[in-house]
Amino acid sequence: MERVAANIKTIVTTYAPLQAVDILEEWVRRSEEAIHQERSFREFAIMTISNLKSLVTEQGNHAIPLVIDDVGDEPNEENREDAVRRLIEESPEQRLTIPDIGEKLGIGYPAAANLILHSKSSMLHKGMIRFDRKAPKPRYVTIDPGFTEDGNIDFYLTELRSCDPKVQDIPVMRRIAEALMVYTQKGVWAKNGGKRLRANHLLKAFRNHGVLGAIKRVVQGPITPGFNILIELGRWDLTFEQIVIDFSDVFDDEAVQLAAVARLKLLKDKA
């Protein structure tokens, strides 16, 4: 039971609630086909799924990941993605297999595979690592040398400035730039027929109305462009409704009120 609890704890402290639910429900489905020794796993996973769904209903999918107090130590403060990159960089050949990474991080193979490959916000989808699924075994994970998270955000900040010269490198603009970056991720394109999730329409709106003005117009509409994908990725914070609420000091009162109403509706729809 201790190993089971540790594996489930890794999922709920790593992923946003709805994403954790998807992973755990898949594990439960697989365990139902296995032998009786998986019974304790199913019971604990089902209980955790119930807790996660309650958390989403109360706080939304970008709530702080669930904390389980009674099953061992708290997870290491180091970001798991950073830990993976550090492990690869420190390995003699600067490459590791997924089982090796899972063992070194103490999270096991399933959690490591989800973190690196399978989840909708995996390191592979983000372009952080390279992994050739068709290569002969053992298959290795290597670092993509072209990836720098801050560099990517800086690129999209530049794109925002090309639309609106008043854009400054301030927290609200970095959040908006990150949203634009996620809208245009290759991993997201594949889920939407290769389209940029209306990113080109957003850029046009930014040019016509300014970045903040365009976002106010968006929250007056039905939903943030690409909203469902953002929820699947566990990124409530990148919806324009949430951006307006989080940075209410740079938006007028009308925009904040509209965003609050829209977010409440979205929470009810997703509950």
Residue 193, judged by CB atoms within 10 A of its CB (0-12, 13-18, 19+), counts as exposed
pLDDT for 210: 92
Each residue's pLDDT tens digit, 118-139: 775 678 776 778 888 888 888 9
pLDDT digit string, tens, across residues 72-89: 333 333 478 878 988 998
Percent of the chain at pLDDT > 90 equals 10
Of 101, 108, 151, 96, nearest to 127 by C-alpha is 151
Band (pLDDT 50/70/90 cuts) for residue 67 is very low
Instruction: Specify whether the CB–CB gap between 215 and 173 falls below 8 A.
Output: no
**pLDDT band at 30; cut points 50, 70, 90:** low
**pLDDT grade for 141, boundaries at 50, 70 and 90:** very high
Q: In this predicted structure, what is the pLDDT of residue 16?
A: 72
Task: Provide CB contacts within 8 A for 5, sequence distance 6+.
Answer: 44, 68, 71, 72
Kindly tell me the sign of the dihedral angle through the C-alpha atoms of 103, 141, 15, 212: positive
Which are the contacts of 35, defined by CB distance < 8 A and separation ≥ 6? Answer: none
- Residue pair 72/2 in contact by the 8 Å Cβ criterion: yes
Distances (CA, A) of 117 to 12, 73, 211: 17, 26, 34
Token duo for residue 95 = 């490459």
Look up residue 247 and give its two tokens. Answer: 């940075």
Q: What is the pLDDT of residue 97?
A: 94
Q: What is the pLDDT of residues 200-234, one digit of tens each?
A: 677 788 889 999 998 888 887 765 555 666 766 67
Domains contained in the chain, CATH given: 1-75 (no CATH), 77-147 (1.10.10.10), 149-270 (no CATH)
* Radius of gyration of the CA atoms of the chain, in A: 20
pTM, full prediction: 0.45
Average the pLDDT over each of 6-10, 48-52, 175-179 and give the range with the smallest value: 6-10
Tokens of 230: 């953002």
